[in-house]
Structure 1
Amino acid sequence: GNPGMGKTRIVVEAVSQADLPLREIHINCERYESATPFHAAGQMLRSVLELKDQDPDATGAALVERLAADAPGQLKWAPLIADVVNGHVPATPEVDSLAEDFRQSTLHSAATDVMAALINGSAALVIEDSHWADESSRLLFAHLAEHAASHPWAILALRSAGEGSPLVDEVMELEIGPLDQDAAVQLVTAVAGAATPLPFAEEIARRAGGNPFYIVELAAAAHSFDAEELPESIEAVTLARIDKLRQGDRRLLRYASVFGETFAINLLADALPDVAPNVDDPAMWARLDEFLDTSSIGKVRFRQMLVRDVAYAGLPFKRRAEVHLAIAEALERRGRRRPERFAEAMSLHFDRAEDWERSWTYSRIAGDRAVKKMAHAEAMRIYTRGLRASEHVNADPIEVARIREAVGDAAEHLGMTAEADTAYDQCLADDPEVVAQSRLLRKKAMLQVSTGDTELGRQLLDDALGRLEQAEDADAAEDKLETMIAIAGLHFREGDYTSTVDWCTRAAEVAGNDHPRELAHALYMRSAAYSHLPGMDGLEDGSKALAVFEELNDLVGQTNVLNNMGYDAYYRGAWDEAVDLWSRSIETGTQSGDIVRTASSIHNLGEIFLDQGHYADVEDRLNRALRIWQGAGFAIGVGIARANLARFFTRIGRLDVAGELLDTARDDFVDAGAEAYV
Structure 2
Amino acid sequence: MLASMQQTSVSPVFVGRDPELTDLADALRRAGRGEPQTVLIGGEAGVGKTRLLEEFLRQADDQGVLTTDGGCLEVGAEGLPYAPLATALRRLHRCLGTELENAAAGMEGHLARLLPDFGEADGEPNDEYGRARLFEHTTRLFERLGTDRTFVLAVEDLHWSDRSTRELFAYLVRTLHRARVLLVATYRSDDLHRRHPLRPFLAELERLRTVRRLELERFGPGEVAAQLAGILGTAVPDRQLVERIHRRSEGNPFFVEELAAALREGCSTGLPDSLRDILLVRVEALDEETQRVLRLAAEGGSCVEHALLAAVLEDEERLIGSLRAAVGANILRPDPDGDGYRFRHALVREAVSDDLLPGERHRINRRFAEALEAEPQLVGADVRPARLANYWYHAHDPARALPTALDAARAARRRNAFAEQLRMLERALELWDEVPTEHLAGTLRPYDWAETYPPCSCDDDHHDEDCDRLCLIDVLAEAVVAARRSGDRERGLSLAKRALKLVDEAEHPARAAWFRINRARMLGHLRRSGDEEEIAYAHRLVEHLPPSAVQAEVFALGAGAGMLSNPRPELVVLAERAARIAREVGAHTVEQHALMTLGGLRNDLDADPEAAVAQLTAAVEATRRLGATDLLLRGLNNLSSLLRGLGRAEQAAELAREGLDSARRNGLQRNIGTILTGNLAEALIDLGRIDEAELVLAEGDLTSPTGTHAEFLDRLRGELALLRGDLAAAAALLAQARAANRVGQIQHSVPISRLAVRTAALAGRPLEARAELLAALAEDFPCGYLADFFPLLVDGAGAEADSRGLPEAEEGRAAALARIVEVASGLTPTAPLHHGWARLLDGELARAEGADTPAHWAAAVERLRPTGLPYPLALALLRAGEAEVLAGRREAGAELLREARELASVRGDAGLRAEIDALAERAGLAVVAGRPVPAAAPSAGESFGLTPRERDVLRLLARGRTNRQIAEELYISPKTASVHVSNILGKLAVAGRGEAAALAHRLRLFPEDLAPAGR
Fold shared, TM-score > 0.5 on shorter chain:
yes
Q: Percent identity?
A: 21
Partner of 1:324: 365
Partner of 1:37: 81
After superposition, give the CA deviation of every residue in 1:68-106 in whole Å (9 maximum; x if it has no partner): 5x32xx4322111111113473566xx64x883322232
1:166-565 pair list within 5 angstroms: 166=202, 168-169=205-206, 170=208, 171-179=211-219, 201=243, 208-215=249-256, 217-218=258-259, 221=262, 231-274=272-315, 277-279=318-320, 283-292=324-333, 298-335=339-376, 342-393=384-435, 394-395=439-440, 397=459, 398-432=470-504, 433-454=508-529, 456-469=530-543, 471=545, 474=546, 477-495=548-566, 497=568, 500-501=571-572, 503-505=574-576, 507-508=578-579, 513-514=584-585, 517-533=589-605, 535=607, 537=609, 538-546=612-620, 548-550=622-624, 552-565=626-639
For structure 2, the residue ranges without an aligned partner over 5 or more in a row are: 1-42, 193-197, 442-458, 460-469, 741-751, 757-1015
In the alignment, is the contact (CA less than 8 A) between 2:139 and 2:176 conserved in 1? no
**Following the alignment from structure 2 to structure 1, what is the Cα–Cα distance between the partners of residues 646 and 238?**
92
Q: 1:605 to 1:492 in 2, by over 3 A?
A: closer
After superposition, give the CA deviation of every residue in 1:608-634 in whole Å (9 maximum; x if it has no partner): 567557899878766655544478955
Higher mean displacement: 401-410 or 547-556: 547-556
**Following the alignment from structure 2 to structure 1, what is the Cα–Cα distance between the partners of residues 434 and 143?**
49
Q: 1:458 to 1:560 in 2, by over 3 A?
A: closer
Partner of 2:180: 152
After superposition, give the CA deviation of every residue in 1:364-389 in whole Å (9 maximum; x if it has no partner): 12101211221011111122223334
Partner of 1:113: 140
Q: 1:33 to 1:512 in 2, by over 3 A?
A: closer
**Following the alignment from structure 2 to structure 1, what is the Cα–Cα distance between the partners of residues 541 and 608?**
34
**Following the alignment from structure 2 to structure 1, what is the Cα–Cα distance between the partners of residues 131 and 566?**
32
Higher mean displacement: 519-528 or 173-182: 173-182
Deviation at 1:489, TM superposition (A): 3.3
Q: 1:272 to 1:665 in 2, by over 3 A?
A: farther
**Following the alignment from structure 1 to structure 2, what is the Cα–Cα distance between the partners of residues 350 and 603?**
50
Deviation at 1:510, TM superposition (A): 5.4
In the alignment, structure 1 residue 100 sits paired with structure 2 residue 140: no
**Following the alignment from structure 1 to structure 2, what is the Cα–Cα distance between the partners of residues 614 and 533?**
31
Partner of 1:124: 152
Q: Which has the higher Rg, Structure 1 or Structure 2?
A: 2
TM-score by length of 1: 0.81
Partner of 1:7: 49
Q: Which one-letter code corresponds to 1:347 in the other structure?
A: A
In the alignment, is the contact (CA less than 8 A) between 1:99 and 1:556 conserved in 2? no
Q: Aligned Cα RMSD in Å?
A: 4.3
For structure 1, the residue ranges without an aligned partner over 5 or more in a row are: 53-61, 651-657
**Following the alignment from structure 2 to structure 1, what is the Cα–Cα distance between the partners of residues 310 and 646?**
74
The alignment of Structure 1 onto Structure 2 pairs a total of residues equal to: 645
Q: 1:429 to 1:340 in 2, by over 3 A?
A: farther
Partner of 1:46: 90
Deviation at 1:503, TM superposition (A): 4.0
Deviation at 1:47, TM superposition (A): 1.6
**Following the alignment from structure 1 to structure 2, what is the Cα–Cα distance between the partners of residues 205 and 666?**
59
Deviation at 1:522, TM superposition (A): 2.7
**Following the alignment from structure 2 to structure 1, what is the Cα–Cα distance between the partners of residues 412 and 187?**
25
Q: Which one-letter code corresponds to 1:89 in the other structure?
A: G
TM-score by length of 2: 0.56
For residue 154 of structure 2, give the secondary structure of its aligned residue in structure 1.
strand
For residue 486 of structure 1, give the secondary structure of its aligned residue in structure 2.
helix
In the alignment, is the contact (CA less than 8 A) between 1:600 and 1:625 conserved in 2? no
For residue 155 of structure 2, give the secondary structure of its aligned residue in structure 1.
strand
Q: 1:591 to 1:207 in 2, by over 3 A?
A: closer
Higher mean displacement: 615-624 or 379-388: 615-624
Q: Which one-letter code corresponds to 1:50 in the other structure?
A: R
In the alignment, is the contact (CA less than 8 A) between 2:66 and 2:151 conserved in 1? yes
Q: 1:34 to 1:145 in 2, by over 3 A?
A: farther
In the alignment, structure 1 residue 142 sits paired with structure 2 residue 165: no
Q: 1:622 to 1:448 in 2, by over 3 A?
A: closer
**Following the alignment from structure 1 to structure 2, what is the Cα–Cα distance between the partners of residues 191 and 550?**
66
Q: Which one-letter code corresponds to 1:43 in the other structure?
A: T
